[in-house]
Amino acid sequence: MKPSESRIWEPQCECMDRAELEQLQLERLEATLTRVVRHVPFYRRRFEELGFDPDEFRSLEELRKLPFTTKADLRENHPYGLFAVPLRDVVRVHASSGTTGLSTAVGYTRNDMRTWSTLTARVLVAGGVTKEDVVQIGFDYGLFTGAFGLHQGAERLGASVVPVSSADARRQVGIMRDYRTTALVTTPSHALNVADAMIEMGVNPASLSLRHGLFGAEPWSESMRKEIEDKLEIVATDNYGLSEVMGPGVAGECLERSGLHLAEDHFVFEVIDPETLQPLPDGQVGELVITTLTKEAIPVVRYRTRDLTAILPDRCACGRTSRRMARVKGRTDDMLIVKGAKVFPSEIEAVLFEVEGIAPHYQVQVDREAGVDRVTVLVEVSESIFFDEMKRQRKLEETIVKRLAAELGVTVDVKLVGKKTLERSDGKARRVVDRRPRE
């Protein structure tokens, strides 16, 4: 048996025959649509306007006729306006992290909690975690769904959970060493901070028990994965989710690491063109749209995630039959238009990790001068380079500018800054600082 074959938490669901899965999706979708029409005035109104009757719903394709739900809809109905159950049936409330403004409340019934921990357990198992593992959770415990979500999944599968929360990187290293942590769960940017702290503290990764890293909650690049894996001497997997539909557990990589398996028995996934709003075929990058199939407290229909990805067409070698999505490229609202070209911070990141002599910490600043957007990439460099002669600094700057121009198709400004000048985050990294005046 290949090692990956034994790493499936719920084979009866994750390896389901496709026709059977689609039938299950259809049944669950009908139930969800009936439930929202009955219990959520927002959906009732919208469906009535359309003359849509859930009882006449016959095929998954018909979902495309329904309107999208957006972040603005959630905001207008904050905190409990979109809940389909009374608050007495809600056992937990969390919130989206508010990356792009006000965060919005989400709730879970007892059944939702059960589903959630099952799905995060799937992600953990797919990433190599077993009940023998000691799982260190480095996400912030609070309204953010990351810590509680993965914590519950790890407990569910019987692993030993160390709920450190989003402590400073050195503290994470100390605990990792003392508690013999075998799996680290956090954001990729925090994982890199932990790796750097480990080097500074003179801790040899080979002396630790750490083997797996499950990272998510923010975009990261393949080059960043390599950097983290090399520094921490682990296997790192990517996992994705968003609080509006549940939190972590929506999708996660298996050890094949060729795309994130989608929990299709609990959600319907579509990819649309964010401008025309038309569905895109598998393989094409567009905005991910998610409909919940089993959520009781706050079901959502065609939620526009603003995350850019593609559904991968082929089957994975691991044995799961679920489709996968490509690593998230970024959010539609993170996209910068530089001299007419579309640029994502993750593309900048991928280049930076390949340039020798720079610490891979960066920030993208956007200003507007005389009506034109100006992008400056701040890059941290090692002390030796920063205090080195100007000539060497210039040369490095030029190399980065050239490499970025080759990749992005436009020239952006690059500024080298000293080590640790850029803000470090214990949670999601703030990669873009937008200083353009608000319109």
Which residues are at the interface with ligand DLL (CB under 6 A)?
96-97, 144-146, 216-219, 238-243, 247-248, 305, 307, 328, 331
Burial of 438 (0-12, 13-18, 19+ CB in 10 A): exposed
How does 218-252 read in b/e, with b if 16+ C-beta sit within 10 Å? bbbbebbbebbeebbebbbbbbbbbbbbbbbbbbb
Residue 135: partners with Cβ closer than 8 Å, 6 or more residues away:
124, 129, 150, 154, 159, 160, 161, 162, 181, 182, 183, 184, 185
Question: How many other CB atoms sit within 10 Å of the CB of residue 365?
Answer: 15
Q: Is 190 left (phi over 0), alpha (psi -120 to 50) or beta?
A: alpha
* Residue of 81, 104, 101, 77 lying closest to 93 (CA atoms): 104
Whether 10 and 122 have beta carbons less than 8 Å apart is answered as: yes
Using left for φ > 0, alpha for ψ between -120 and 50, and beta otherwise, residue 10 falls in beta
Give the residue among 130, 112, 185, 114 at the shortest CA–CA distance from 9. 130
Among 194, 245, 238, 246, CA closest to 217? 238
Segment holding 47, helix H or strand E:
helix 41-50
- For ligand DLL, the closer CB: 54 or 219: 219
CB of 72 or CB of 405, closer to ligand DLL = 72
**Residue position matching structure tokens 């001299």:** 339
Three-state DSSP at 101 gives coil
- Distance between CA atoms of residues 300 and 292, nearest Å: 6
Closer of 293 and 325 to ligand DLL (Cβ): 325
> Which tokens in the block code for residue 337?
């238009």
